[in-house]
């Protein structure tokens, strides 16, 4: 079997199709959520600038907390992706490799 035929066999395998579908759905949905959350910063600061004048703790206002929350969200998404990848994507990859041998 040539290398091209091997790659075609992998691409047409049901486990690979499932893995690709799950990864695409996961990544696309989190990309949309992250983009909307990221774009909230310029929208809120542009349309509701008074929100960034609200003091929360001493000199720390809502704006600072919102900006910091974006870092927290990015780290949270990375941790969640690692969890899903280890639990689901790696399992499907292992099943695919076992089926191809």
Output the tens digit of pLDDT for each of the chain's 101 residues: 678 778 888 899 999 999 999 999 999 999 999 999 999 999 999 999 999 999 999 999 999 999 999 999 999 999 999 999 999 999 999 999 899 88
The pLDDT assigned to 56 comes to: 93
Please write down the HEC assignment for all residues of the chain.
CCHHHHHHHHHHCHHHHHHHHHHHHHHHHHHHHHHHHHHHHHHHHHHCHHHHHCEEECCEEHHHHHHHHHHHHHHHHHHHHHHHHHHHHHHHHHHHHHHHC
The pLDDT assigned to 32 comes to: 96
What are the structural domain ranges in the chain?
13-100
The pLDDT assigned to 78 comes to: 96
């Amino acid at each position: 079997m040539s290398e091209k035929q091997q790659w075609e066999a992998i691409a047409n395998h049901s486990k690979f199709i499932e893995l690709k579908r799950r990864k695409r759905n996961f990544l696309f949905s989190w990309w949309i959520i992250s983009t909307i959350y990221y774009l909230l910063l310029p929208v809120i600061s542009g349309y509701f600038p008074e929100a960034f004048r609200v003091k929360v703790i001493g000199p720390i206002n809502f704006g600072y907390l919102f900006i910091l929350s974006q870092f927290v969200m990015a780290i949270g998404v990375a941790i969640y992706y690692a969890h899903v990848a280890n639990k689901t994507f790696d399992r499907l990859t292992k099943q695919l490799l076992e089926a191809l041998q």
